[in-house]
Amino acid sequence: MNRREILRASGLAAVAASLAACSAPESKGPANSGPRLQWKMITSWPRDFPGLGTGAAGLGALITEASAGRLTVKVYGAGELVPAFEVFDAVSRGVAEMGHSAAYYWKGKAAAAPFFCAVPFGLNAQEMNAWLYDGGGLELWRELYAPFNLLPFPAGNTGVQMAGWFNREIRSVRDLAGLKIRIPGIGGEVMARLGATPVNLPGAEIFTALQSGAIDATEWVGPYNDLAFGLHTVAKHYYYPGWQEPGPTLECMINQTAFAALPTDLQTLVSACCRAVNEVMLAEYTARNQDALDTLIREHGVDVRPLPPDVLGALRRASEQTLEAIAASDAMARRCYDSMRAFRAKAQAWHRISEEAFYQARG
């Protein structure tokens, strides 16, 4: 698939045309002058995987097209240049100029990193974008990554996910004891508090692990991605809601040295492209999840059910304890948690008489 086909498939063709028009002057100028640069983007996703992989590919194609080829970005799927969980280190060292991944994979690097992807019972996609862009979140994120020579940008969101696929029924909190579940980030720590055994696996390894019995359950994303992975063929029960990932932000991390070397107009263009992909990806998931869920139910007979109220209550309490423990262990984590929590309270207060009230009125 060439760049133009990727842009059309990802809904970014109009964005590319608009950005290219804005950057191109009537005569010779920045859009067609200066050296032509070639960057590599490495990702944590399988090549061309719907939403995640295609979102990364769309970002690379958008930057290439909108810059009129002044900055060409070649995108590599997980394992093609580096393994899925080595993206952070590779971009930090300059092995590649860009990476597309999820910040909760890097909690071993920085305790506060998961706050910039997904927090259990935290911010949904709309609230995450508001906190990052207008609530001080992005400034904290960039401060956190600065010692690693990385500059992060929000670059995608799936919206509220599913709680996951389980090969045993979850009737009470006792059913979590001993459960081997693929779940990254803070959600994994919460599950451990309730007796489960969290396992962190890249997406490409989930199906085989579930099929072989190496894990009993997994959370991945939601119907759109889970159907594409065929998870319904290796697990019986599909639970909601996605308490662990209510608004997971995907990241584009850029090597700070490489970014600083760009002309100012290309820096602005890269930032605008990340923001465009962040918006377009959320629209894609919103449009496609229900169609995929219908397919799972009607064509494959998937058992879709809510987590019991007592289980959700236990998960919420364990989440609060886990988050407080993380904040108490690290000064930067404390700042990030306090900022996010204060913003959540403000957003909740408004949403009670806006979003939530409207949903109830709409019926």
Do residue 310 and residue 269 come from a single domain? no
pLDDT > 70? residue 201: yes
Predicted local distance difference test score (pLDDT) of residue 25? 45
Predicted local distance difference test score (pLDDT) of residue 356? 97
When pLDDT is cut at 50, 70 and 90, the band that residue 27 belongs to is very low
pLDDT per residue over 172-181, tens digit each?
999 999 999 9
Do residue 44 and residue 188 come from a single domain? no
Residue that terminates a domain, selected from 232, 263, 287: 287
Predicted local distance difference test score (pLDDT) of residue 41? 98
Do residue 240 and residue 283 come from a single domain? no
Q: How far apart are CA 221 and CA 210, in angstroms?
A: 15
pLDDT > 60? residue 26: no
Do residue 181 and residue 60 come from a single domain? no
Predicted local distance difference test score (pLDDT) of residue 31? 46
Q: Is 335 inside a domain boundary?
A: no
Do residue 90 and residue 185 come from a single domain? no
Residue that terminates a domain, selected from 255, 287, 319: 287
pLDDT > 70? residue 204: yes
Do residue 240 and residue 104 come from a single domain? no
Do residue 132 and residue 256 come from a single domain? yes
Q: Is 206 inside a domain boundary?
A: yes
Do residue 74 and residue 39 come from a single domain? yes
Do residue 191 and residue 50 come from a single domain? no
Q: Is 292 inside a domain boundary?
A: no
Q: Specify the CATH number for the domain of residue 102.
A: 3.40.190.170
pLDDT > 70? residue 108: yes
Q: Is 10 inside a domain boundary?
A: yes
Q: Are 248 and 123 contacting, i.e. CB atoms less than 8 angstroms apart?
A: no
Predicted local distance difference test score (pLDDT) of residue 35? 79
Averaged pLDDT, 317-325: 98
Q: Is 101 inside a domain boundary?
A: yes
Residue that terminates a domain, selected from 287, 313, 344: 287
pLDDT > 90? residue 251: yes
Predicted local distance difference test score (pLDDT) of residue 318? 98
Q: Is 361 inside a domain boundary?
A: no
Q: Which domain holds residue 179?
A: 164-244+301-329
Q: What is the pTM of this model?
A: 0.91
Averaged pLDDT, 138-155: 98
Averaged pLDDT, 286-311: 98
Q: How many helices (H) and strands (E) does the chain have?
A: 14, 11
Averaged pLDDT, 19-32: 49
Do residue 269 and residue 185 come from a single domain? no
Q: Specify the CATH number for the domain of residue 232.
A: 3.40.190.10
Tally of domains in the chain = 2
**One-character DSSP codes across 177-226:** TT-EEE--HHHHHHHHHTT-EEE---GGGHHHHHHHTS-SEE--S-HHHH
Closest CA to 294 of 304, 283, 307, 286: 304
Q: How far apart are CA 301 and CA 291, in angstroms?
A: 14
Instruction: Look at the block and give the residue holding tokens 């290439």.
Output: 64
Do residue 66 and residue 115 come from a single domain? yes
Predicted local distance difference test score (pLDDT) of residue 258? 98
pLDDT > 70? residue 12: no
Q: Is 295 inside a domain boundary?
A: no
pLDDT per residue over 44-101, tens digit each?
999 889 999 999 999 999 999 999 999 999 999 999 999 999 999 999 999 999 999 9
For residue 213, is it left (φ>0), alpha (ψ between -120 and 50) or beta? left
- Mean pLDDT (the chain) is 93
Q: Is 257 inside a domain boundary?
A: yes
pLDDT > 90? residue 13: no
Do residue 188 and residue 279 come from a single domain? no
pLDDT > 70? residue 2: no
